[in-house]
Structure 1
């Protein structure tokens, strides 16, 4: 092999490699990730950017959906953030986009069932509406159970913090110990508040965020007592012990009222479910007799009127047996 040709090939290879490397370095210095970070920092440091940019938050933001497109679509809907707040209070990891997807799927399933049964369009819409409400009812049920469980844990939590303060610990360290010793869900909420404080969030903001995640009046009283003591001073351990005693006594009174109103609530459930049970039994035993409700227009109007009166009666009985303590 010619030595000159071999040397030329080697030099050509090295020149190509160096040219490619130079082009890569040039592109990286202008458009690479590090260059973008530097440009963003310089822009944030400028006066114009500081006047326009929103203040950054060190708190973790909850996403409305896993898809950026769906997030942009949901951001313009006014009640989306309310749904997200209910999901967060229920302790659900489901996003708003997935929740709306489940709701739409349930409505479509209701329409398909009504079409398969050859029902009228009004009956199909009624079935679709009832099935579409099921995901929301599930969220409300989980939220109610979670808040009730937190309310039962709160007196013990107040007593534990009071004992920790009497032992000489600070309020923040008492939160840390309580987050490790107390079971979920209240222990997890205290852990989130303690982590926010560790990351630099003020005590007032961390406790306020906890009341947003857990909308309980007893927890608000607990937070208000802590914040007032931080401003004006006083024996916080004694205050928390009194709050724990008051919450415990209130829960006892609520349990007594609930036991006394159990008969009225049971009567309400029986009166509300009895017509649907009768219609279901008649649909099985005598389909021709009950078919008039789905075919005759007058029967459909009468059924709609009955449903409206039943709804009014259920709401009225619920108002009677629901006693706030």
Structure 2
């Protein structure tokens, strides 16, 4: 083999090695970028996870739609270790199952009604998880204010104080403050990072804390005294919210009991007289009356929930 052929073969092997190395670095960088985007732009806030993601193709497609972005935003506020594709797939499976169960156990008319209830329940589940996370975060706000006051009194900057508080606190406050600290590390301003936190977990207590931190960061002043006074105020509000939630627990239980009584009566009627619901919903008048009854149960549920909702 001539020297020219050997030189060409060596160059070819070198180019192949460089191509493989470049492809490896490109794939690694893309994976890191995707993990960073998921962490900072609406992915789960639990940090790195080794769980294999399901329905990756569905997740990539649904994230490009407005519905997928809305679902992803709601999931990011709940702290659930789910992707938009996983939640969408599970919700569709539950809706189809409810449709089939209601159509077979009651009457075909109740299939679409059960599917609509399933979609509404999925949204309610996300809102419930979000509110649960907000309540847990509010309960940790006195500790957040105390840690920030101590760190500021020790001479640390606000960015460093937030990072230290993120390391000291448990979830969800630790995860949320860690996200804020990561955003500050990437160059975002304190106003934007804390403002996004207040939008993600809206509450009066958090708005007061964020406003205090933003104003002190802009204008300076005795932030230590303000944070310590805010700590005592948040402790008092925490106890007040706990007492109110205990007093309203019976009202909230009644709100869910009323629709369950309606469902139980339908099952009782259909079991005592097989095919009764199918005959009732077989005419337009029967369908209208059934929808009216279901609507009244829904109105009762929302009215009871509204009466038991007290802003503290």
Give the shorter-chain TM-score range. Answer: 0.7 to 0.9
Q: Which residue of 1 aligns with 2:123?
A: 136
Q: Contact (CA 8 Å) 2:62, 2:85: kept in 1 or not?
A: no
Which of 103, 125, 130 is 2:91 aligned to? 103
Change (3 A) 1:21 1:172: same
Change (3 A) 1:79 1:208: same
Q: Which residue of 1 aligns with 2:10?
A: 21
Q: Contact (CA 8 Å) 1:294, 1:300: kept in 2 or not?
A: yes
Larger RCO (CA within 8 A; separation ≥ 6): 2
Q: How many equivalent residue pairs? A: 291
Greater mean deviation of Cα atoms: 77-86 or 304-313? 77-86
Matches of 2:58 and 2:259, distance apart in 1: 43
Which of 136, 157, 163 is 1:176 aligned to? 163
Asked if residue 274 in structure 1 is aligned to residue 266 in structure 2, the reply is: no
Q: Which residue of 2 aligns with 1:154?
A: 141
Q: Following TM superposition, by how much is the alpha carbon of 1:25 offset from its aligned partner in structure 2, in angstroms? A: 5.7
RMSD, matched Cα? 3.5
Q: Which residue of 1 aligns with 2:29?
A: none
Superposition pairs for residues 129-278 of structure 1, below 5 Å? 129-278=116-265
State the SS of the aligned residue for 1:287.
coil
Q: Contact (CA 8 Å) 1:161, 1:174: kept in 2 or not?
A: yes
Q: Which residue of 1 aligns with 2:49?
A: none
Q: Contact (CA 8 Å) 1:103, 1:133: kept in 2 or not?
A: no
Q: Which residue of 2 aligns with 1:302?
A: 289
Matches of 1:269 and 1:21, distance apart in 2: 75
Matches of 1:89 and 1:293, distance apart in 2: 43
* TM-score normalised over the length of structure 2: 0.77
Matches of 2:209 and 2:91, distance apart in 1: 37
Matches of 2:103 and 2:142, distance apart in 1: 53
- Structure 1 unaligned segments of length 5 or more: list them: 1-10, 38-56
Q: Which residue of 2 aligns with 1:83?
A: 71
Matches of 2:83 and 2:158, distance apart in 1: 33
Q: Following TM superposition, by how much is the alpha carbon of 1:302 offset from its aligned partner in structure 2, in angstroms? A: 1.3
* TM-score normalised over the length of structure 1: 0.74
Asked if residue 311 in structure 1 is aligned to residue 295 in structure 2, the reply is: no
Superposition pairs for residues 3-82 of structure 1, below 5 Å? 11-12=1-2, 15-23=4-12, 33=22, 60-62=40-42, 67=56, 71=60, 74-75=63-64, 77-82=65-70
Change (3 A) 1:268 1:132: closer
Change (3 A) 1:18 1:62: farther
State the SS of the aligned residue for 1:324.
coil
Matches of 2:76 and 2:156, distance apart in 1: 31
Summarize deviations over 1:100-159 as a string: whole Å, max 9, x none: 222222222233335545832x32211222233343332222211111100111012112
Change (3 A) 1:68 1:107: closer
Q: Contact (CA 8 Å) 1:155, 1:244: kept in 2 or not?
A: yes
Q: Contact (CA 8 Å) 1:165, 1:174: kept in 2 or not?
A: yes
Change (3 A) 1:111 1:20: farther
Q: Contact (CA 8 Å) 2:270, 2:277: kept in 1 or not?
A: yes
Change (3 A) 1:319 1:194: same
Matches of 1:251 and 1:177, distance apart in 2: 23
